[in-house]
Amino acid sequence: SGLKTGGVFTPTKDDFQKVYNDVAELLENNEYDDGSYGPVVVRLGWHASGTYDKDTKTGGSNGATMRFAPESDHGANAGLKTARDLLEGIKQKHHWITYSDLWTLAAVAAIQEMGGPKIPWRPGRKDGDVSACTPDGRLPDASKDQKHIRAIFYRMGFNDQEIVALSGAHALGRCHTDRSGFDGPWTFSPTMLTNDYYKLLLEEKWSWKKWNGPKQFEDVSTKSLMMLPTDMALIKDKEFRKHVERYAKDNDLFFKDFADAFGRLLELGVPFEKEEKFIFKSTSD
């Protein structure tokens, strides 16, 4: 466990593994959604990080500025208070960890606990103040097309292959009418990370859902699954589609590329002092 030198606590890998274990224990809950907080915790890590702008070097997970308005009130962050509140108990117990390290570590724990790949992670983020909040509009708008997706993710520094790999996270969780306005899950197993998102995109027939809500797709055969306009753009666009086909065929390849891209996402813009990354033990190891 951590060393105390001159009153300063220096956490070790074991201390971070304890945080991982405590997060893992909180995730399953039969009262919530599909039985797990995992998806909303992944989304918190992604939205905390996906504000990065490589040209101005602003945004990203460093700072954990989503704790403050106006960022907490940005439309894209609706519902993420659930994840932040869930993790507050962990912060109170392990007060030495920064919110920015905690949120990203929790996203790694959620991916691993939902059957996904190991995501190497390292500490070093510092919490900022309200002045570092990013302007609204840095996260993707689900009603848009491939041009918008590219503009948003290229700004973070990702390429087409990485955009498609990251999008596979939509195997997890669901849309909520009281958060984004959209409704429903993408896959039949929303608490397990698999390449089903890509398979369903290619294999199901999708049509516009007839309802009063925002424009979204539903699967023709069961009408119980959904795709956003931005999800469908990944098979309409030839360059994106190539990667959807690769990942639909090969779950190992998806896991490898997802782990690389998601690990990088969580590190965008962070001035780390140390190179060493930790690979956490999953509960099932």
Would you count residue 117 as binding ligand CCH (CB under 6 A)? no
Burial code (b: 16+ CB inside 10 Å, e: under 16) for 39-68 equals bbbbbbbbbbbbbbbeeeebbbbbbbbbbb
Q: Please list the alpha-helical segments (H only) found in 140-195.
A: 146-156, 160-167
Least separation in angstroms between CB 199 and ligand CCH:
18
Query: In the window 119-158, what residues touch ligand CCH (CB under 6 A)?
Result: 140, 142, 149
Query: In the window 245-284, what residues touch ligand CCH (CB under 6 A)?
Result: 262
For the purposes of burial, counting CB atoms within 10 Å of the CB of 240, is it exposed (0-12), middle (13-18) or buried (19 or more)? buried
Would you count residue 226 as binding ligand CCH (CB under 6 A)? no
Would you count residue 169 as binding ligand CCH (CB under 6 A)? yes
Q: How far apart are CA 121 and CA 127, in angstroms?
A: 17
Residues in the chain: 285
Residue 207 is which amino acid?
A: S
| Span interacting with ligand CCH, options 38-46, 191-199, 202-210, 249-257, rule CB under 6 A | 38-46
Interface map 65-104 toward ligand CCH (x if CB under 6 A) = --------------x-------------------------
Least separation in angstroms between CB 50 and ligand CCH:
7
Q: How far apart are CA 173 and CA 193, in angstroms?
A: 10
Residue 162 phi, psi dihedral angles, 5° rounding? -70, -35
Residue 183 is which amino acid?
A: D
* Residues recognised as catalytic: 47, 186
Would you count residue 108 as binding ligand CCH (CB under 6 A)? no
Could you tell me which residues come within 8 angstroms of residue 100 by beta carbon, excluding any fewer than 6 positions away?
A: 48, 61, 62, 63, 64, 125, 126, 127, 270
* Interface size with ligand CCH, residues (CB under 6 A): 24
Would you count residue 182 as binding ligand CCH (CB under 6 A)? yes
Q: Which of 51, 167, 191, 216 binds ligand CCH (CB under 6 A)?
A: 167
Which residues bind to ligand CCH, rule: CB under 6 A? 39-40, 42-43, 46, 79, 140, 142, 149, 166-167, 169-170, 172-176, 179-180, 182, 228, 230, 262
